Amino acid sequence: MSFDANALHDLRLLEITIFVSLLNGYKVQVTHRRKLKINDKLQLNHALLGPHFRYNLLSVKKLASQLQCEVVVTEDSCMLRGPSLKRPFAISREAYGLYILDKELVRDAKLVRILPSACNELPTSCE
């Protein structure tokens, strides 16, 4: 979900306005949906536009499902890996307790290698 209409491509007005409930109890109005282009090779479908929302949120479940990959979260970063990707790559960095989508990492598709010796440090197995 994004508050920035410029971040979404091929916007389509929703026939019925919907509201998304947030964890803090607030409801955010969603007016449009379409595609979110993260980089030249990575695009997410069905992104929502909430023009009165102050943040951009990314559903980890939707990301993993659409790209058929694993989302690996470490203490200081978040990366994607899986059979649908040539190599794992970092997409975000930790800041203030949140994982912030890092445009530089995503744009440059900065690749990271997961070495067998690093498996003990990852929250998921390296099978």
Q: Where are the domains of the chain?
A: 1-57, 59-127
Q: Which pLDDT score, from 0 to 100, does residue 14 have?
A: 92
- For range 10-17, the mean pLDDT: 90
**Is the pLDDT score of 127 beyond 70?**
no
**Tokens of residue 120, six digits:** 């003990």
Q: Which pLDDT score, from 0 to 100, does residue 13 have?
A: 93
Angle at 62 between CA 21 and CA 64, to 5 degrees: 145
Mean pLDDT, all residues of the chain: 76
49-90 residue pLDDT tens: 988 888 888 888 888 888 788 888 888 888 888 777 777 777
38: Cβ contacts below 8 Å, ≥ 6 apart: 44, 91, 101, 106
Q: Which pLDDT score, from 0 to 100, does residue 97 have?
A: 82
Q: Which pLDDT score, from 0 to 100, does residue 30 have?
A: 92
Q: What single DSSP character describes residue 18?
A: E
SS3 of 1, please? coil
99-122 residue pLDDT tens: 887 777 666 543 333 333 333 343
Banded model confidence at residue 42, pLDDT cuts 50, 70, 90: confident
48 or 118, which is more confident: 48
**Tokens of residue 53, six digits:** 């929302």
Dihedral sign of CA atoms 19, 78, 54, 38 in order: negative
**Tokens of residue 51, six digits:** 């023009």
